[in-house]
Amino acid sequence: MPIGTYEDYAERLKKMKPNVYLNGKKVDRTGDWIKGGMYVMKQTFDFAHNPDYQDVCTATSHLTGEKINRFTHINRSKEDLLNKQLMTRLLCHRVGGCIQRCMGTDALNSLAAVTYDIDQACGTNYHERFNKYLAYSQKYDLVANCAQTDVKGSRNPKYKRAHMQPDPDQFVRVIKTNVDGKGIDGKPCKGIIVRGAKVCNSNAPYVDEIIVTPTKLMGKGDEGYAVAFALPGDWDGVKLMALPGRHHKRIHLKAPFADVGDVESLTIFDDTFVPEERVFMNGYDHPDVLQFAGYLALMFAHYHRHSYTGCKTAVSEVIAAQAALVADVNDIAREHHVRDKICDIISTAELVFAAGQASALRAEQFPSGNWVPDEILTNAGRKLAGQKIYHEYETLADLTGGICASLPTEECFFEPETADLCNKYIVRNPAYTAEQTHRVMRMMENKLCDPFEAAQAVAGVHGGGSPLMETITMMSRYDLEPLKDIAKFLAGFEGVKFPRYERATATPRAMIEKFKKTVADSEKKTC
């Protein structure tokens, strides 16, 4: 059945070869360190089977016509984009933060569009390979992530090209082509050998598949770095350096928010063989493939930022919900300053979501059949979310007070000698019991004081690109000349007519010629 179950997914993880390194030791995919992330993934399966959420959590495959999990779907309409955004918002509410599976669907969608365009320009067969891979992913409802961010090495401008780095392995690259090896099915095949590492690679230790894409524009000399492929998470030569994240462990006060976690990874490709059937871009295959590396990097970032307009909306709403509840527990909910602060958070959430909706409604259909959202609106929404997230945490801390950082241990509220006194003195608003107040303050301890949530706050700024990257993207897309004509008319410039200002839909496809020019100009400067 194309809509998988959590049980099937968990069983697949158990069968994977140990290639995760925890504290320097190789481990399998079991134990408490991975449970928080698997709990999050469970929601993506369970909700796809829930009749109340079928409209947003499932879709119809354009390849087979079967009902599938929307996380394995290619957006084939504006409605698909809107439903993806709604699904993301819904599921992020469920776990109180990132749903973690968006990277996989965004990587699939970006490859669906770009591999088609490469084939049209270069006569390659990447799109056919990709569609076979997509059908496989849909058939088994596979969980995937995207390994995009290279470790990058020196940021010194003189090393601006990947191949100029003192250590050439600081970006993932092809080191050998036309190599004999074994395919996913174990049969002999041709392929490539890759080397390098990807960082900030969320949930790699508990996905079925790792999808690799370039991280930036590539130019002459970078042919080996223009590479995209997908491999099973336990493939030979893939080594995952794990950083588990989870809320403080609860003993008595079990709660959904405390069950959530993730695992970050430094994902290393140690001279790894990639079967040809799993290679979706290789700069050595055709001279013109190189120009598509930046295009694919941008396309993934764009789809992912659209997902963020659902995700970060939900994150802000969760913070607003926690702020409203803790204010009530502290008996200050009706104070004007409290209402103003919560209103600020809700306003951000709604504006971010509206930007994502509007970008979906202004989407453009590509020749591949994909619908791609408007880039300016998507980036505007993601930029606003990244700028506001720290302030939202600050507001939550302000309304909670310092108790979340100095609570007695959980056991003190349950041991006979101390329980009555601890429960007596934790109560604020008499409308809430001691246990309810304790639960809220424990949640605030998790939200504001533990290492996992601190990492989530940073991810709220930098995940999918920092606000600076959204600024760069927006200002490279937005045509200021028609905008300036409005001001020229108002200032009374002679010969300037009041313009009919209609901003064109902004999608990455319209920018591919600009990429070519940027590469060419950059090469001239380098030479």
Residue 520, pLDDT above cutoff 70: no
Other CB atoms within 10 A of residue 425 CB: 10
- Stretch 513-525: mean pLDDT: 54
Q: Are residues 370 and 453 in the same domain?
A: yes
- Asked if pLDDT for residue 248 goes beyond 90, the answer is no
Contact 84, 305 (CB under 8 A): no
CATH assignment at residue 411: 1.20.140.10
User: Do 489 and 454 have their domain in common?
Assistant: no
Which of 474, 499, 515 delimits the end of a domain?
A: 474
What confidence tier does 485 reach under pLDDT thresholds 50, 70, 90? confident
pLDDT band, residue 457 (cuts 50/70/90): confident
Torsion of CA 457, 96, 21, 171, to 10 degrees: -50
The pLDDT value recorded for residue 379 is 92
Considering the domain architecture, whether residues 406 and 522 belong to the same structural domain is answered as no
Q: Span 192-221, mean pLDDT? A: 96
Domain that holds residue 488: 481-526
179-199 mean pLDDT = 97
Residues 324 and 448 in one domain: yes
In the prediction, which pLDDT does 496 show? 85
In a domain, 123, yes or no: no
Q: Last residue of a domain, which of 439, 454, 474? A: 474
Q: Is the pLDDT of residue 337 over 50?
A: yes
In a domain, 379, yes or no: yes
Where is pLDDT greater, at 475 or 180?
180
Q: Residue 235 — pLDDT band, cuts 50, 70, 90?
A: very high
Say yes or no to pLDDT of 230 above 80: yes
Banded pLDDT at 508 (limits 50, 70, 90): low
Task: Please state, in angstroms and as integers, the Cα–Cα distance from residue 293 to each residue in 142, 512, 516, following that order.
Answer: 25, 11, 11
Reported as a pLDDT band with limits 50, 70 and 90, residue 526 is very low
Confidence of residue 467 (pLDDT cuts 50, 70, 90): confident
Nearest to 198 by CA among 146, 143, 144: 146
User: Residue 502 pLDDT more than 80?
Assistant: no
Q: pLDDT for 273-290, tens place per residue?
A: 999 999 999 999 999 999
Write down which residue in 457, 474, 491 finishes a domain. 474
Question: For tokens 């008595």, what's the residue?
Answer: 252
Residue 370 placed within a domain = yes
- Reported as a pLDDT band with limits 50, 70 and 90, residue 459 is confident
Q: Is the pLDDT of residue 482 over 90?
A: no
| Residue 390: inside a domain | yes
**Separation of alpha carbons 316 and 349, rounded Å:** 6
> Sign of the CA dihedral 276, 304, 465, 217?
positive
What is the number of structural domains in the chain?
Answer: 2
Residue 436 lies inside a defined structural domain of this protein: yes
Shared domain check, 308 and 361: yes
Name which of 513, 514, 490 is nearest 501 in CA terms.
Answer: 490
Closest by CA position to 463, among listed 315, 342, 354, 294: 315
Q: What average pLDDT does the structure give for the chain?
A: 92
pLDDT value for 330: 97
Pair (364, 512) in one structural domain = no
| pLDDT tens-place string over residues 84-116 | 999 999 999 999 999 999 999 999 999 999 999
Residues 429 and 318 both lie in one domain:
yes
Question: Would the CA dihedral through 232, 236, 241, 243 be positive or negative?
Answer: positive
More confident residue, 509 or 369: 369
Which of 3-17, 384-398, 512-526 is predicted with the least confidence, judged by mean pLDDT? 512-526
pLDDT value of position 163: 95
pLDDT the model gives residue 527: 38
- 523, pLDDT greater than 90: no
In a domain, 349, yes or no: yes
Each residue's pLDDT tens digit, 71-81 = 999 999 999 99
How sure is the predictor about 506, in pLDDT bands with cuts at 50, 70 and 90? low
Distance between CA 173 and CA 43 in Å, rounded? Answer: 35
Higher pLDDT pick, 367 / 173:
173
Are 387 and 426 contained in the same domain? yes
Shared domain for 494 and 522, answered yes or no, is yes
Contact 228, 296 (CB under 8 A): yes
Q: Is residue 226 part of a domain?
A: no
Residues 379 and 333 grouped into a single domain? yes
Whether residue 469 is found in the same domain as residue 489: no
500 in the same domain as 406: no
pLDDT confidence of residue 503: 66
pLDDT at 504: 61
Judge whether residue 497 has pLDDT over 90: no
Rounded to an integer, the average pLDDT of 502-506 is 64
* pLDDT score of 83: 97
The pLDDT tens digits for 25-54 are 999 999 999 999 999 999 999 999 999 999
The verdict on residue 347 lying in a domain is yes
